Amino acid sequence: DDPTRAVLACFDCEAVLRKLNLEGRFGVTTGRVFCGAVGSTKRQEYTVMGDTVNLSARLMANAKKAGCTILVDELTAKRAQAEVACRALEPIMVKGKSELIKIFDPQKPSNEVLTTITNGEIAVRFPWVQFDSVLTSLETWDELRTVRAILNNKEVTSEGKIAEAGWVRGGTLLLSGPHGMGKEELAEYVVHHCRGELKMAICFGTMRCRPGSL
């Protein structure tokens, strides 16, 4: 998620400069670069070099002309699209390039309210993109079986048997596992069960890609 972090860092830098009555311009690109020490045995400095670095400098220089503070290239916009919406602008010519470069203006994410209560009805919007899934209807899914047992004040023993759990009034449920195992589906199931069956009010806290987001 480096491209996303880089764009979000630009928003933070922009806010700090604005408090100082200063104006900053930023260019963010994604690609391979050389990163390390350059120079002789007498004098060296740590730097990053490469076409990707040069392009980011060109975007920074063209940001004001494009009418925005931050400009990103096409690859950065694609990699960050899950967290940051990017508005496509007219492609531009930059020094060192023979073809037009596609540029994008990233839009700062807003801290949205994910849980609302209206006339006693609790509405929940998840901080990720919801999608239809059949996973939570699979009776043979072991992880779902374990979560269901916990929510019903039960626990699954090492032998796979269901027994009385040690906690009754509450606790912490941590969902952890490798990418693609179905953690989002399990999280949605837990929230819907707690809201519908246990009549709980739902409060979200998520760092998204970096601290300070929400």
Taking CA atoms, 180 is separated from 82, 175, 176, 186, 192, in Å, by: 16, 13, 11, 12, 21
Token look-up 């990163």 returns: 35
DSSP-derived secondary structure letter, 128: S
- Which comes out higher in pLDDT, residue 27 or 151? 27
Mean pLDDT for all residues in the chain: 80
Helix, strand or coil, per DSSP, at residue 52: helix
Residues in the chain, total: 214
Bridging pattern class, strands 26-28 and 70-73: parallel
Give the pLDDT confidence of 163-195 residue by residue, as tens digits.
555 545 556 778 888 877 788 788 878 877 777
Quick one: pLDDT at residue 196?
A: 73
Identify which of 83, 57, 161 has the alpha carbon closest to the alpha carbon of residue 73.
57
Residue 123's H or E segment, with its range, is: strand 121-124
Q: Which residues of 87-97 are buried (b: 16+ CB within 10 A; e: fewer)?
A: eeeeebebeee
Taking residue 139's Cβ as centre, other Cβ atoms within 10 Å add up to: 7
* CA neighbours closer than 13 Å in the CB half-sphere of residue 148: 12
pLDDT at 61: 94
Say which residues have a Cβ less than 8 Å from residue 83's Cβ, sequence separation at least 6.
1, 4, 8, 109, 208, 209, 213
Angstrom distance (rounded) from CA 40 to CA 60: 30
pLDDT digits (tens, 9 = 90+) for 48-83: 999 999 999 999 999 999 999 999 999 999 998 878
How far is CA 47 from its chain centroid? 28
Residue 201 has what DSSP assignment?
P
Residue type for position 214 = L
pTM score of the predicted model: 0.57
- Give alpha helix (H) positions in 34-94: 51-62, 74-80
Interval 74-89: pLDDT, tens: 999 999 887 888 999 9
Residue 213: the pLDDT is 43
